[in-house]
Structure 1
Amino acid sequence: MIILGGAAALYFIWLLFRLATYALPIYSAVGAGLFVHTQGYGTTAMLFAGFATGLIVLLTGQAVFASAKSPLLRFLVLLLFAVPAGFAGYQAMTGLLGLLIDVGVWANWLAVAGGLGTASAA
């Protein structure tokens, strides 16, 4: 059971950082859903608006990156997706390290390394 629990924990950590690479579409989807909800629309409209916005942001970013010939435009699209992913990776690593060790200089350096790794994976 200990080995199975360790494998499950490692899988969830991998999943957390894998999902952090999609931070920009998720942030935009949550923002659009909350905006629609505060305008007085129902839950169905909120979910549809959030899902559609996140999907549009993801597909538009992928299409612009794939079709752009200019290295500067590709770099800007890369930064647009990598910066929120790096921030999400930093926050995820800070949360995980808060469970394991005392917060200090080493925890911040490891969290920065986690954020940079997540940003580079995005």
Structure 2
Amino acid sequence: MIIFGPLLVIAGIGFFCWLLFTLAVFALPFYAGLTVGAWAFHTGAGWLGGAIVGAIAAGLTFGVGQLALAFVPWTWLRLAIVLVYAAPATVAGYYATHGIAQMAMQSATWQTIFSLVGAVAVGVTALVRIAGTALPGREETRLARA
């Protein structure tokens, strides 16, 4: 088991990182939609009303982020927006990796190390993917025309 534990952790991390890499762009909109949908449900909207309100909130969160990335002229503000959208993906990467590591190995130190590696990998990938979805800014458009 001492040999298979780390191998299983690496295989599991690879699968879940691929899944998280694919869905990382939607971590913040999903969380916002889930939170608003739960709020709507608990205020009496029912399960259908909560689901509809949550889906609208998630779509608005995603749309506002895309519009902000498209129209904000300053690079530092774009970076801040991308970091806000990538932070929930990093946290999700940490906890997903930590859950796999807990199942595969006993050592708390190695669990934490694998969890941090998974969080960094998911966070960096989310950062790159979210930054890549942004439309080119005014500077890039002006340079492309020249």
Same fold (TM over 0.5): yes
8 A contact 1:21–1:121 mirrored in 2: no
Asked if residue 23 in structure 1 is aligned to residue 23 in structure 2, the reply is no
Partner of 2:64: 60
Change (3 A) 1:21 1:37: same
Change (3 A) 1:93 1:17: farther
- The correspondence for 1:44, drawn from 33, 42, 48, is 48
Change (3 A) 1:89 1:11: closer
Return structure 1 stretches of 4+ with deviation > 4 angstroms. 9-12
CA RMSD of aligned residues (A): 2.0
Q: Secondary structure at the match of 1:102?
A: coil
The alpha carbon displacement at 1:16 in A equals: 4.3
Partner of 1:81: 85
Asked if residue 90 in structure 1 is aligned to residue 94 in structure 2, the reply is yes
Asked if residue 107 in structure 1 is aligned to residue 111 in structure 2, the reply is yes
The alpha carbon displacement at 1:19 in A equals: 2.6
Partner of 1:6: none
- The correspondence for 2:76, drawn from 69, 72, 79, is 72
Counterpart residue identity of residue 47, structure 2: T
Percentage identity across aligned positions? 28
Distance 1:18 1:102 in 2: 29
Q: Secondary structure at the match of 1:40?
A: helix
Change (3 A) 1:29 1:74: same
The alpha carbon displacement at 1:12 in A equals: 5.4
Counterpart residue identity of residue 96, structure 1: I
Q: Deviations over 1:5-60 (max 9, x none)?
A: xxxx7895232453344221111111001100110112111110111101111111
Change (3 A) 1:77 1:18: same
Who wins on radius of gyration, i.e. which is larger?
A: 2
Structure 1: segments with no counterpart, 5+ residues = 1-8
Count of residue pairs brought into register by the alignment: 114
| Bigger Cα displacement from structure 2, 9-18 vs 89-98 | 9-18
